[in-house]
Chain A
């Protein structure tokens, strides 16, 4: 039986209808009749060109435009020699659609998970010197608001030293009515005067400060910046957008995990410094209550929006208190007064 095929030779657009005749070893074939170039051609050089199983069109390796198309299903001795049509792409065809999709889905989840994990990893890769320079630049922007007095500075230093031994952290107070505290990159911690004025004891300030020191220790600030600005930050253009970075950190909402980590760090530090954690728990409870009162929202919200309060956070501080422990105040009354008076006699008010 003769097997006729439609044939284009890729040189002219003329269609020929030669007969496809396999050679005796069945590895090759010739095209006979109707003016076709007889060949021979190797079956192994055929490339599938149809889009589905019922289209039996084939090209020839290295001959663009060369085609044969079987008009009917070819006899079995020819059919077994023909390459299978590609469907989804070589790899997926080999493993099957569903198996490939499953494997790829697992891979995709891993890639996404890794990408989400990337900011903390990258944050740890940023050299300390770069991070410190960045922190200085950002905080330098706050320069005009910074408060300073000999007594206040000494009290801050004392408090910092009690909470943390190493000296690469700079703590400042800025004259602003918001109840807030921020950890900028490079160990630059800023306390807002509003927080100090609102606090009823130095222990409350110590608790908030210890929390921010936790963010410093875990390099959460850098991570937040990398999350928000990504490659743009790492490519070294950070001089251009210092105020943007400062703002981003002021409004940064850390993940629940980062907040819990900083809380854990704070509780540990308070414990080590023999400062009671109960006032901090009290502060959280008070802020939450003040938030509900009308008129306070603008002042309190700045802290709450970047440090969402939850009963579990308050609980963590409350339960860490050891019954019967003889806690010492974070600062002496004189030091506490000096800290409160740092930004001048007139307390900053919300305006």
Chain B
């Protein structure tokens, strides 16, 4: 139907002034309900954010409900965490027996439990994406997936294990292939999402991230060795307490610098990963692009930190708003969408929300 201009397929036109009453009443109601309202509060926030987001010629609509989220949370609590707590007690009881068989059984059980929880993490990411797509409407059409996500959970388990096993060098590969796997299982309307991202360009940044600590340790050793070689001994005034203090401050500054540098490099990897992953995503004849560079992510992060710190934490109610605005501002779409063919999704809509996702506390997308 429409050939879209290169820019502006997505637009977010919300304003924080409009969002503030929602955020503050959510905070109030969440406090007086001891957190239970959080499920409804999150729904209100999303309804606002989605409704202020235009794609091509109409806005998005969020149709999820607070009740769904609560239900999802309860289901997870009952089906996963109660049995896991029971198993945990069993592990403790076995370990207390003091026999080698008991200890071995406890160790095995604990390892199995760990693997199981790891797999649940993958399942949670998949299900949250599926839930969000199934509750997002545009032109009266929604997304979804026919996949239950269990296979993805297993895939998540072995890929992440393998990725970390090779000294962590295969982590980018694991991240990218998992991205492809979950998006290839999703669809919107009649069209499946297709993602063919590769980790080719990511390795350089990842190696930087990976080698920085190693390089610093080697650099430190070399510096110490050189100072010993040249016989440079620090001159200390007797009885002065300054040198230890100086050392402590120096170490602290070094540590902060290291953290900042490390954070910056991981941010640059993250930025590249997102650009590459979203850039490889298509839906029908639509192609997507994500334009945020490291600098943009850094601005977002520093802004958020400043917002939270300067308001003594109250500003954190705006974090979701900021993230969404950032996401939409940097999202582009190209190509065309044939509305005649754009029919309703035939996927089964999940009955409850992102319970697993909530309880394992994982990020979006």
Hey, which bits of chain A sit against chain B, CB under 8 A?
A: 8-15, 49-51, 55, 57, 59, 64-67, 88-89, 92, 97, 100-101, 104-105, 107-108, 111-112, 235-237, 239-241
Contact indicator B343/A237 (Cβ below 8 Å): no
Distance of A13 Cα from B95 Cα, bound (Å): 60
Q: Are A55 and B349 in contact (CB under 8 A)?
A: no
Asked whether B63 lies within 8 Å of A49 as measured between CB atoms, the reply is yes
- What are 16 A-B pairs with beta-carbon distances under 8 A? A10-B344, A11-B344, A13-B140, A15-B58, A49-B63, A51-B44, A64-B349, A65-B140, A65-B344, A66-B140, A89-B66, A92-B29, A97-B25, A101-B32, A111-B34, A237-B89
Assess whether A14 is in contact with B344, with CB atoms less than 8 Å apart: no
* Chain B residues within 8 Å of A67, by CB: 61, 137, 140
Assembly CA distance A59 to B135 (angstroms): 14
Q: 1/0 per position for B64-81, CB-CB distance to A under 8 A?
A: 001000000000000000
On whether the beta carbons of B32 and A239 are closer than 8 Å, the reply is no
Kindly identify which residue among A49, A66, A104, A112 contacts B33, using a CB–CB cutoff of 8 Å.
A104
Contacts of A14 in B (CB 8 A): 139, 339-340, 342
Q: Is B40 in the interface zone, CB < 8 Å from A?
A: yes
Q: Contacts of A107 on B, CB cut-off 8 Å?
A: 32
Interface of B is mostly: mixed
Contacts of A57 in B (CB 8 A): 61
> How many Å from the CB of B352 to the closest CB on chain A?
16
The reply to whether the CB of B306 lies closer than 8 angstroms to some CB of chain A is: no
Number of B interface residues in the complex (CB < 8 A): 37
Question: B19-34: contact bitstring with A at CB < 8 Å (1 yes, 0 no)?
Answer: 0000001001101111
Binding site for A on B (CB under 8 A): 25, 28-29, 31-34, 37, 40, 44, 47-48, 51, 58, 61, 63, 66, 85, 89, 92-93, 95-96, 137-142, 189, 337, 339-340, 342-344, 349
- B137 proximity list for chain A (CB < 8 A): 65, 67
Smallest beta-carbon distance B113→chain A, Å: 15
Given contacts A12-B340, A13-B141, A108-B32, contact A88 B44 (CB under 8 A): yes
Majority SS of interface residues in chain A?
mixed
Please indicate the chain B residues that have their CB under 8 angstroms from the CB of A13 in the complex. 138-141, 189, 337, 339, 342-343
Which of chain B's residues have a CB closer than 8 A to the CB of A12?
A: 141, 339-340, 342-344
Cα A65 to Cα B340 with chains together (Å) = 16
Report the separation of the CA atoms of residues A67 and B96 in the bound assembly, to the nearest whole angstrom: 62
- In angstroms, Cα B37 to Cα A164, docked, is 52
Residues on B with C-beta less than 8 A from A111 are 34
Q: Which residues of B contact A64 (CB under 8 A)?
A: 63, 142, 344, 349
Contact status A237-B93, CB under 8 Å: yes
Task: List the B side residues contacting A104 at CB < 8 Å.
Answer: 29, 32-33
Q: Of residues B32, B51, B58, B349, which shows the largest number of chain A Cβ atoms within 10 Å of its Cβ?
A: B32
User: Does the CB pair A237–B92 fall under 8 Å?
Assistant: yes
Considering only CB atoms, which chain B residue lies closest to A89 in the complex?
B40
Q: Which residue of A lies closest to B57 (CB)?
A: A15
Instruction: For residue B84, give the distance in angstroms from its CB to the closest CB of chain A.
Output: 13
Given the complex of chains A and B, what is the CA–CA distance between A92 and B137 in angstroms? Answer: 26
A37 vs B219: C-alpha distance when bound (angstroms)? 74
Q: Are B28 and A10 in contact (CB under 8 A)?
A: no
Contact A88 B48 (CB under 8 A): no
Q: How far is the CB of A236 from chain B (nearest CB, A)?
A: 7
Instruction: Tell which of B66, B96, B139 touches A240, judged by Cβ atoms closer than 8 Å.
Output: B96
**Which residues of B lie under 8 Å from residue A66 when comparing CB positions?**
140
Q: Which residue of B lies closest to A242 (CB)?
A: B96
Q: Are A51 and B34 in contact (CB under 8 A)?
A: no
For A9, A15, A104, the residue with the greatest tally of chain B CB atoms inside 10 Å of its CB is A104
Instruction: Kindly state the separation between the CA atoms of A107 and B37 in the bound complex, as whole angstroms.
Output: 14
B residues in contact with A88, CB < 8 Å: 25, 29, 40, 44
Q: Are the C-beta atoms of B28 and A240 separated by less than 8 Å? A: no
Instruction: Tell me the nearest residue of chain B to A57, going by C-beta.
Output: B61
Q: Are A108 and B61 within 8 A (Cβ)?
A: no
Residues of B within 8 A of A112 (CB): 34
Given contacts A10-B344, A88-B44, contact A105 B189 (CB under 8 A): no
A11 touches B343 (CB 8 A): yes
Return chain A residues, CB-CB under 8 Å to B66.
89
A51 contacts B51, CB within 8 Å?
yes
Nearest residue (CB) in B for A232 is: B89
B339 touches A51 (CB 8 A): no
A87 to chain B, nearest CB (A): 8
Q: Tell me if B29 and A8 are in contact (CB < 8 A).
A: no
Q: How far is the CA of A192 from the CA of B140 in the complex (A)?
A: 76
Contact in complex: A8, B93 (CB < 8 Å):
no
